[in-house]
Amino acid sequence: MSFMGLNQIDVERLQYEVISNEARLKLTRLIRNYSNDEDNNMQILRQNRFINIANNVLGKPIYVLEPDDAGYYDPVEHAWHLGEIELIMRLPSTAELVEILADLIQERLLDVDIINEVLISDGSSLEFELNNYSDTVFVHVVPIEQIDEVDDSQEHPNIRKLIRRMENALSDEDYAGVLHASASVFETLAKDIFGLPSVENQTLASFFDGYRNRSNLPESVLDYILEIYKRRNVEPLAGHGSTLPPSIEREEAIMLSEMTKTFVRLERKLAMPQVNK
């Protein structure tokens, strides 16, 4: 039996999972390496295999290679495939990327151990397993309850865990905690979109102009995000200890929680690169 796709539970678990641009670049480099060959014909055939496996998951048309009468491929074909190879790991959503990787591992086009190393170094909560007896790939998505609690001082706190923290705070009627977790989500998301190591140890306010230039969110939404981040730093019990009661109330905390999750999904979807055909 072979990999048959993610189940609905794992798809839901992955909706807030972020695989960073750095990890996607490493995966792209692996695909370049595995598809390279001194024989140009063999190289384009390997590239075509990678591209079509990804296309199947993404619901894109399958690209059928057609050689000339001598059995070779036009230089335009080679150029097209070189460009498409660079997009395999950039275009998909997280769930789509996981399914593509599983299919590539299943077909023995990528090494499962190397893929897991990339994901572990990225702080991901998912792992692939290739069962050599059944010849089947399994995807293990760690339930959010089992992810180690994050420390806000870490460079790459997991957005899934931060959102769970926000939901727990709401359930506990800790509305200042909802504000704190929401601001942490926005800061983490902005660093991922910004995509440069230089901002990892900076506050969101210090690089927000750069994030604004890179984000595809509406200006009004970005203004709201910055307002939430700034409010965390002054709201009692949200960003610091205080003898004063917090001003944020239940209705506002509920709205903030739902808007935070919506903005994460929207930012990730809008961040997918647009390609000129």
Q: How confident is the model at residue 222 (pLDDT cuts 50, 70, 90)?
A: very high
130 and 155 part of one domain: no
Containing structural domain, residue 262: 146-271
**Residues 261, 163 contacting (CB under 8 angstroms):** yes
Looking at the fold, whether 16 and 119 belong to one and the same domain comes out as: yes
* Residue 277 maps to a domain: no
What does the pLDDT look like over 137-151, one tens digit per residue?
A: 998 887 655 554 444
Q: Is the pLDDT of residue 115 over 80?
A: yes
CATH number at residue 218: 1.20.120.330
Give the chain's domain count. 2
Token duo for residue 239: 């960003």
Q: Which of 12-26, 85-99, 103-117, 216-230 has the lowest mean pLDDT?
A: 12-26
Residue 204: the pLDDT is 86
Share of the chain above pLDDT 90, in %: 37
pLDDT at 83 over 90: yes
Binned at pLDDT 50, 70 and 90, residue 162 comes out as confident
Span of 4-8, 22-26, 141-145, 226-230 with lowest mean pLDDT: 141-145
Is the domain of 21 the same as that of 102? yes
Please tell me whether residue 139 adopts helix, strand or coil conformation: strand
CA 262 to each of CA 12, 21, 180: distance values in angstroms, whole numbers, following the listed order: 14, 21, 17
Last residue of a domain, one of 122, 142, 162: 142
- Cα separation, 146 vs 268, in Å, equals 24
* Pair 103, 128: CB distance under 8 Å: no
**Between 240 and 125, where is the model more confident?**
125
The verdict on 153 and 223 lying in the same domain is yes
In a domain, 105, yes or no: yes
| In-domain check, residue 232 | yes
Least confident of 49-53, 81-85, 91-95, 120-124: 120-124
Instruction: Give the pLDDT band (50/70/90) at residue 28.
Output: very high
C-alpha dihedral sign at 68, 71, 74, 77: positive
Q: What is the pLDDT of residue 151?
A: 42
Count of Cβ atoms closer than 10 Å to residue 271 Cβ: 17
Q: Which residues contact 160 (CB under 8 A, 6 or more apart)?
A: 13, 16, 17, 125, 144, 147
For residue 37, count other CB atoms closer than 10 A to its CB: 13
Q: State mean pLDDT over 8-27.
A: 84
pLDDT digits (tens, 9 = 90+) for 29-81: 999 999 999 999 999 999 999 999 999 999 999 999 988 888 888 899 999 99
For the chain, the residue count is 277
Pair 121, 169 in one domain: no
Q: Does 111 reside within a domain?
A: yes
User: What is the pLDDT confidence band of residue 265, given thresholds at 50, 70 and 90?
Assistant: confident
Average pLDDT for the chain: 84
Across 60-69, 147-156, 186-195, the highest mean pLDDT is recorded for 60-69
